[in-house]
């Protein structure tokens, strides 16, 4: 129907005044696609479809009723054809969808049903046509559709007739009646129906039954709108980010004000939002029950209950007045009936608790809504934990990449040190005259050896580039630092290219110092390749040598090598081993996997312990890399 109307240019009906050149001077224009949804597009849509501000209006005359009657007769004649655009134009001008033709004795819906015009019937139903209206012969549009063999139209008219009650029943129990088999109503039963036997519930039900048909229709329409609002609100909450909703101010939603309704009705519609799930479900069940009674024409039942309820209310009022006056209440004597009522109430409460404990028993609407809300909250919490898990995984991935980069650069530094360790130059200020002869004997000794001068099996002594200081008591030759083209360029370049860890690990910029110190210890060997072997040293020389080798300097951030004799040089801390880093990394990954598994299995109690274990593991990982402090 909507597609047919759109293809026939029905949009020009809603925007008649906008398309009329005579009304362009009013300043109103159609919203552009680039305009904002709020408030530009929202106001335009409300004015176009709700307020009908741009629809063509007939000039006001004294015979408006005659004009409306004439338009309704034209509609009565037009619905037998398939021209939807003409009928929509007549309806927009004021034709009545439920117009009863005085001469033919039927309504436009009877004519459309008899002609088999399903789209016309759908359009009339949108404008309020009643599928249950009888003509002069006592037949409904459904009867004419079945007589003409239009079974699809007949079924659609039945669905339209029971649309309100079907929607209410589907909201409570998720099922719709089978209209094809004659089932037109489904009255859900509350699992704790004993609560509905209270005096307030009985009084409310009697007031509902005493309403006129017109007031009952308005109440049913308002409840229908409230059901639609609650379902829409539930869908909106399920699609929002709950972590941001918690921080925002929460406002209780309710139905918007309808300008066509009175202020009393608008207030009553908005008060429906204050009903909890159980109260609203009770109201819906009462409306369904009374709608079925009114549809079938059944008389009111329970007149005796009404009398008893009135008498009990009067007695309660008298007893309250007597108690206020501090007078003896001789009339209110405990009777067997009161005892029976108390026993029945306690039994009903016990039965309710038993029913709530049974998994296969009936489930109340309140319990269902509580479980549903808990499920929505759990899903929101799971999404938040998944986001935290993704952040931790990204951080762990960055840590692994940094670790691999450091390992590769460390291996490159080892290779460079192995290649250039014997390309050192002698300096006269670090050696004495007693060692010149031994150094002069080195070329012949090296030339006579066919093997490499770097023998891993012999355990050579370490070469300390910056740490050894010449002591008077030592007569051994001290090795020179790396030349300018080797020591400074290679090591400083490598240290400057090292990446930095994330802030969570508190990685210091003095990492190059720790890596250089570790390089010196790993490349140390027990023997020296020079002629002055450690066997010639006495214990004092050995101690002095050890002291000299233990002195090391801390490289500055700009890559310069400080003077070895600086008294405030701080020792470089030892880097953790690769096995420790891998073990801590695997522990962090394992804890994150446990948190993910707990989230997937809905183990809410495990979220906090798993998060604490992740925090402890990350803290232990950060503790492996201590900061280096220098004294100035």
CATH number, domain of 42, equals 1.25.40.20
Examine the pLDDT at 553 and tell me if it is beyond 50. no
Same domain, 173 and 229: no
CB-CB contact of 117 with 42 (8 Å) = no
DSSP code of residue 476: S
Tell whether 251 and 133 lie within a shared domain. no
Together in a domain, 28 and 70: yes
Q: Given this model, what pLDDT does residue 44 score? A: 86
Per-residue model confidence as pLDDT tens digits over 223-253: 999 999 999 988 888 887 766 555 555 555 7
The yes-or-no verdict on residue 618 having pLDDT over 50 is yes
Q: Which residue among 268, 292, 317 closes a domain?
A: 317
The total domain count for the chain is 2
pTM listed for this prediction: 0.46
Looking at residue 90, the DSSP 8-state letter turns out to be: H
| 3 state SS of 336 | helix
Q: What is the DSSP letter of 84?
A: H
Is 607 inside any structural domain? Answer: no
pLDDT of residue 164: 93
Residue 559 DSSP code: S
DSSP string, 153-190: HHHHHHHHHTHHHHHHHHHHHS----GGGT--------
Query: Which pLDDT belongs to residue 628?
Result: 55
| 515: confidence class by pLDDT, cuts 50, 70, 90 | low
Q: State the helix-helix crossing angle for 118-126 and 151-161, rounded to 10 degrees.
A: 10
- How many angstroms from the chain centroid is the CA of residue 397? 25
Inside any domain, residue 469: no
Identify which of 577, 524, 565 has the alpha carbon closest to the alpha carbon of residue 546: 524
Residues 33 and 84 in one domain: yes
Burial class, 172, CB count within 10 angstroms (exposed 0-12 / middle 13-18 / buried 19+) = buried
Chain length of the chain: 632
Whether residue 125 is contained in a domain is answered as yes
Helix (H, G, I), strand (E, B) or coil at 29: coil
Residue 461 CB: number of other CB atoms within 10 A?
17
* Mean pLDDT on 394-408: 92
495 within some domain: no
Distances 528 to 459, 462, 477 between C-alpha atoms, Å:
8, 8, 11
Indicate whether 39 and 74 sit together in one domain.
yes
For residues 124 and 161, state if they share a domain: yes
Burial, 459: exposed, middle or buried (Cβ in 10 Å; 0-12, 13-18, 19+)? exposed
User: In angstroms, rounded to a whole number, what is the distance separating the alpha carbons of residues 418 and 224?
Assistant: 85
Farthest-apart Cα atoms in the chain, separation: 140
On whether both 206 and 72 belong to a single domain, the answer is: no
Q: Do 158 and 226 share a structural domain? A: no
Are residue 40 and residue 175 in the same domain, yes or no? yes
Distance CA(457)–CA(433), nearest Å, equals 32
Statement: residue 156 has pLDDT above 60: yes
- Listed residues 134, 149, 179: the one ending a domain: 179
Q: Is residue 500 included in any domain, yes or no? A: no
More confident residue, 370 or 468: 370
Question: Do 112 and 58 fall into the same domain?
Answer: yes
DSSP output for 306-335: HHHHHHHHHHHHHHHHHHHTT----S----
| Residues 242 and 203 occupy one common structural domain | yes
The boundaries of the domain holding residue 159 are 2-179
Same domain, 60 and 24: yes
Q: Quick check: is 168 in a domain? A: yes
| Mean pLDDT value across residues 600-613 | 88
Residues of the chain above pLDDT 90, percent = 29
In a domain, 338, yes or no: no
Query: Residue 397, CB half-sphere, CA atoms under 13 Å: how many?
Result: 6
- Tell me how far apart the terminal alpha carbons of the chain are, to the nearest angstrom: 86
Residue 527, classed as helix, strand or coil, is: strand
Mean pLDDT to the nearest integer, 250-279: 86
**CA 515/CA 563 separation, integer angstroms:** 19
Q: Cβ–Cβ contacts within 10 Å for residue 533, how many? A: 12
With a cut of 90, say whether residue 199 has pLDDT above it.
Answer: no
**Does pLDDT of 42 surpass 80?**
yes
What b/e readout covers 205-239, taking b as 16+ CB neighbours within 10 angstroms?
Answer: bbebbeeeeeebebbbebbbebbebbeeeeeeeee
Assigned domain for 362 exists: no
Instruction: Name the domain boundary from 298, 317, 336.
Output: 317
Mean pLDDT confidence for 578-600: 89
CA atoms within 13 A on the CB side of 84: 20
Query: What average pLDDT does range 121-133 have in this prediction?
Result: 93
Average pLDDT over residues 108-127: 94
In three-state secondary structure terms, 241 is coil
């Amino acid at each position: 129907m909507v597609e047919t109307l759109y293809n026939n240019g029905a949009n020009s009906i809603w925007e008649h005044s906008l398309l009329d050149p005579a009304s362009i001077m009013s300043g109103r224009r159609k919203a552009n696609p680039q305009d904002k949804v709020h408030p530009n597009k929202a106001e335009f849509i409300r004015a176009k479809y709700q307020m009908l501000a741009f629809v063509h209006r007939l000039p006001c005359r004294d015979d408006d009723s005659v004009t409306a009657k004439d338009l309704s007769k034209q509609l009565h004649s037009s619905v037998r054809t398939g021209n939807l655009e003409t009928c929509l134009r007549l309806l927009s001008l004021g034709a009545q969808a439920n117009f009863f033709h005085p001469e033919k004795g039927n309504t436009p819906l009877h004519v459309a049903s008899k002609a088999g015009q399903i789209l016309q019937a759908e359009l009339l139903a949108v404008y309020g046509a009643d599928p249950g209206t009888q003509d002069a012969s006592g037949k409904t549009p459904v009867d004419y559709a079945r007589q003409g063999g239009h079974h699809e139209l007949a079924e659609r008219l039945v669905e339209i007739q029971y649309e309100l009650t079907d929607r209410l029943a589907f909201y409570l129990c998720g099922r719709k009646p089978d209209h094809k088999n004659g089932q037109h109503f489904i009255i859900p039963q509350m699992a704790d129906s004993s609560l509905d036997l209270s005096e307030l519930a009985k009084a409310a039900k009697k007031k509902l039954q005493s309403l006129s048909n017109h007031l009952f229709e308005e109440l049913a329409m308002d409840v229908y709108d409230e059901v639609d609002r609650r379902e829409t609100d539930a869908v909106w909450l399920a699609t929002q980010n709950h972590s941001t909703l918690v921080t925002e101010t929460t406002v209780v939603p309710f139905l918007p004000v309808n300008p066509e309704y009175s202020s009393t009705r608008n207030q009553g519609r908005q008060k429906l939002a204050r009903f909890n799930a159980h109260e609203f479900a009770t109201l819906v069940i009462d409306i369904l029950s009374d709608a079925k009674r009114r549809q079938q024409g059944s008389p009111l039942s329970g007149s005796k209950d009404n009398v008893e309820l009135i008498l009990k209310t009067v007695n309660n009022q008298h007893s309250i007045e007597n108690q206020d006056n501090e007078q003896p209440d001789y009339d209110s004597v405990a009777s067997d009936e009161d005892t029976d009522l108390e026993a029945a109430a306690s039994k009903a409460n016990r039965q309710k608790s038993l029913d709530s404990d049974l998994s296969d028993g009936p489930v109340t609407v309140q319990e269902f809504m509580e479980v549903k809300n808990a499920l929505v909250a759990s899903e929101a919490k799971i999404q938040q934990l998944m986001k935290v898990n993704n952040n931790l995984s990204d951080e762990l991935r960055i840590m692994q990449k940094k670790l691999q980069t450091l390992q590769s650069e460390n291996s490159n530094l080892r290779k460079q040190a192995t290649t250039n360790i014997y390309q050192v130059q002698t300096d006269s200020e670090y050696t004495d005259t007693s060692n010149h002869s031994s150094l002069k004997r080195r070329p012949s000794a090296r030339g006579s050896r066919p093997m490499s001068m770097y023998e891993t099996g012999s355990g050579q002594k370490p070469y300390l580039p910056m740490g050894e200081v010449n002591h008077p008591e030592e007569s051994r030759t001290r090795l020179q630092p790396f030349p300018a083209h080797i020591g400074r360029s290679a090591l400083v370049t490598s240290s400057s290219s090292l990446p930095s860890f994330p802030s969570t690990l508190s990685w210091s910029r003095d990492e190059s110092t720790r890596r250089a110190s570790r390089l010196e210890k790993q490349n140390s060997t027990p023997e020296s390749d020079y002629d002055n072997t450690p066997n010639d040293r006495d214990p004092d020389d050995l101690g002095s040598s050890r002291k000299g080798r233990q002195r090391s300097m801390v490289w500055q951030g700009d890559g310069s090598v400080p003077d070895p004799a600086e008294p405030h040089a701080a020792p470089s801390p030892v880097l953790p081993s690769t096995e420790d880093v891998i073990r801590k990394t695997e522990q962090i990954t394992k804890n994150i996997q446990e948190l993910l598994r707990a989230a997937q299995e809905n183990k809410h109690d495990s979220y906090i312990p798993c998060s604490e274990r992740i925090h402890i593991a990350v803290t232990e990982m950060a503790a492996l890399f201590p900061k280096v402090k220098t004294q100035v």
